[in-house]
Structure 1
Amino acid sequence: MRHLGFAVLCVLSLLAPSLAQAQGPCAHDALNQKVCVADPAQRVVSLSPGATELLFSAGASAKVVAVSAWSDYPAEAADLPQVGDSNRLDLEAIVSLAPDLVVAWVDGNSRSQLERLSDLGIPVFWLAPRTFDDIAMAVSDLALLTGSPDLGNERAEAFRAEMATLKAQYADARPVKVFYQIWDQPLMTVNREELISKAITLCGGVNVFGELPRLVPRISREAVLEANPEAIITAGSSDDRQWLEAWREFPSLAAIAAGNLFLEPPDLLARPTLRMADGARHLCQTLEQARANL
């Protein structure tokens, strides 16, 4: 397999100049690179679970020939061949699939590794959604590159409308101070630039660690006690509720006094995809319950 992959790399290196000159559908990616395909892409490799989900939302499910590990939504994505994860990609396997588009994730994939694919003339489209509109744009761009622009635009606009409705619905809601816990040891949260925090704000919440400089900062339990959140939220299965229950050790916390410990559905907020509308709606309902408890 290694020799086959090397041979394919060599052949593609000869074709790279002609491929690089392809001018069909084009879109600008998260690195502000203009990415073009000769025709709508027919063989797409996705290198993150979020990218996989966005490709399916863009109407490209039949064109995805391989995915990264943990690509489990929609369910049919789990049946596709896998070409590695965020720690290691199998470049030979990717090249052997003869993709005409590779979709990568800025925060998860190695740029130096994927530059080798770009050097071979394989278009690499980078994603890094930081706002709700970035999610919508990603769907539109992927749909354009894979030949379903009308469907992509329709789904993108529907997502924008859902988020706008939520924003209007909770614009005058009583603010709730929120600590959103994403990990236990070490204790970790999100700052205001992370999409989960933007969803908290959309629902009328206030991220008590929003001003920290790192996107996913480590914090201490003392910092949480000092911030005194009115609601503590995490996401996961029932097994993860132990993270929340541990805070009962501090009955003086406003969240504990009010009984505001909440477990959100996993994935809906963790992945920046169209399902974030469902996650935000659920989160808004959670914060409404928190307000009622205060």
Structure 2
Amino acid sequence: MTPNKLLWLCLWLLSASNALAAGISVRDDTGATVSLAQPAQRIVTLSPHLAETVFAAGAGGQIVGTVDYSNYPEAARRIPRVGGYSRFDLEAVVALKPDLIIAWEGGNAPAHLQKLRRLGLPVYLSQISRLEDIAGEIERIGVLAGTRQSADTAARTFRQRLADLQARYAGRPVVRTFYEVWHQPLKTIGGQQFISSVIRLCGGENVFGTLTATAPDVTVEAVLAANPEAIIASGMGEARPEWLDDWQARPGLLAAQRKNLFFIPPDLIQRHTPRLLDGAERLCQHLETARSRRPAGSRQ
């Protein structure tokens, strides 16, 4: 080995040693710093959407435990369960000896997360509020799991797909939209909920966008007064909910008059994962259908 090559090798080893000593550190969605001595090899995810995101970051094989309804990709179905996201089993989590827990601020009980932290377990807390945030989360998980190359590729793909949708639907005529989470009680989304950003991406306007609650209850009378041009429903599974067609009994409702009653599977639109763009594409297509059904010369 030449002296130059030997010097280069020594410098590289010194750099690698310093990097290892420094460990790994990222900030989660709450601004808290999460530090690990080395990439996580035993990960527990405390929400279905977080399991899906870890798979997207290339670290699905490192998940040793997750919660009920973690069903995508197919391999996620075979991961041991530690309960549900709102009431997970603390003892089951600890028994898995995780070196990283990825939790959901909007769904996991803060007291339970505090107990895990007091046991010395690193907890990364996720809370996505914008479409743009998903790519960054994939990248941060890739850093923590040591799968940075796969994660960075997935994040770039997500950003490119998002940019393409933004360019395609920028400037499209506005469609006033009611997003129906559930029928009884009648629930929708507020303006700060991330599905509102999907509606805006597609050139829509959330008719309840001034509400600050994440998933507020509304009345039928309020929907009729808002008179949306399109209604988007999610329901509970892959099948179109029967109650969506109940709006046909309201002939004064513009969305009913024009048969703009649309369905998107909840896993595609209500999970903060890369598949959210699949749901966004469907929502954008539905709003394009609503535009196509306008009378000639009508702006709504």
Same fold, TM-score > 0.5, yes or no: yes
Displacement of 1:98 in angstroms is 0.9
Of all paired residues, the percent bearing the same amino acid is: 43
Q: Which sections of structure 1, spanning at least 5 residues, go unmatched?
A: 1-21
TM-score of the superposed pair, with normalisation by structure 2: 0.88
Are residues 1:45 and 2:23 paired?
Answer: no
Q: Larger radius of gyration, structure 1 or 2?
A: 2
- Pairing of 1:1-294 with structure 2 (within 5 A): 23-236=22-235, 237=237, 239-294=239-294
State the partner residue of 2:18. Answer: none
Question: Match of 2:198, as an amino acid?
Answer: A
Partners in 1 of 2:22 and 2:137 — Cα distance? 20
Q: Cα deviations across residues 113-170 of structure 1 (Å, max 9, x unaligned)? A: 1112211221000000111121111100001000011221121121111111111111
Displacement of 1:238 in angstroms is 6.8
Question: Match of 1:109, as an amino acid?
Answer: N
Partners in 2 of 1:35 and 1:239 — Cα distance? 40
Q: Cα deviations across residues 98-117 of structure 1 (Å, max 9, x unaligned)? A: 11000000011111111122
Partners in 2 of 1:239 and 1:133 — Cα distance? 29
Q: Cα deviations across residues 245-280 of structure 1 (Å, max 9, x unaligned)? A: 111111011111111111113311110100011111
Question: Match of 1:241, as an amino acid?
Answer: P
- Alpha-carbon contact 1:208-1:229 (below 8 Å) kept: yes
Partners in 1 of 2:238 and 2:22 — Cα distance? 50
Displacement of 1:88 in angstroms is 1.6
Partners in 2 of 1:145 and 1:238 — Cα distance? 33
Partners in 2 of 1:189 and 1:178 — Cα distance? 11
State the partner residue of 1:12. Answer: none
- Secondary structure at the residue paired with 1:267? helix
State the partner residue of 1:11. Answer: none
Question: Match of 1:281, as an amino acid?
Answer: E
- Alpha-carbon contact 2:27-2:34 (below 8 Å) kept: yes
- Alpha-carbon contact 1:23-1:37 (below 8 Å) kept: no
Partners in 1 of 2:44 and 2:52 — Cα distance? 12
Q: CA RMSD in A?
A: 1.3
Question: Match of 2:273, as an amino acid?
Answer: T
Partners in 1 of 2:277 and 2:22 — Cα distance? 34
Partners in 1 of 2:238 and 2:23 — Cα distance? 48
Partners in 2 of 1:279 and 1:82 — Cα distance? 27
State the partner residue of 1:3. Answer: none
TM-score of the superposed pair, with normalisation by structure 1: 0.90
Question: Match of 1:270, as an amino acid?
Answer: Q
Q: Cα deviations across residues 2-21 of structure 1 (Å, max 9, x unaligned)? A: xxxxxxxxxxxxxxxxxxxx
Partners in 1 of 2:63 and 2:168 — Cα distance? 37
User: Cα distance 1:168–1:121, how it changes in 2: closer, same or farther (>3 A)?
Assistant: same
Question: Match of 2:274, as an amino acid?
Answer: L
Q: Decide which moves more: 88-97 or 141-150.
A: 88-97
Question: Match of 1:262, as an amino acid?
Answer: F
Question: Match of 1:249, as an amino acid?
Answer: A
Q: Decide which moves more: 208-217 or 83-92.
A: 83-92
- Alpha-carbon contact 1:132-1:160 (below 8 Å) kept: no
- Alpha-carbon contact 2:190-2:216 (below 8 Å) kept: yes
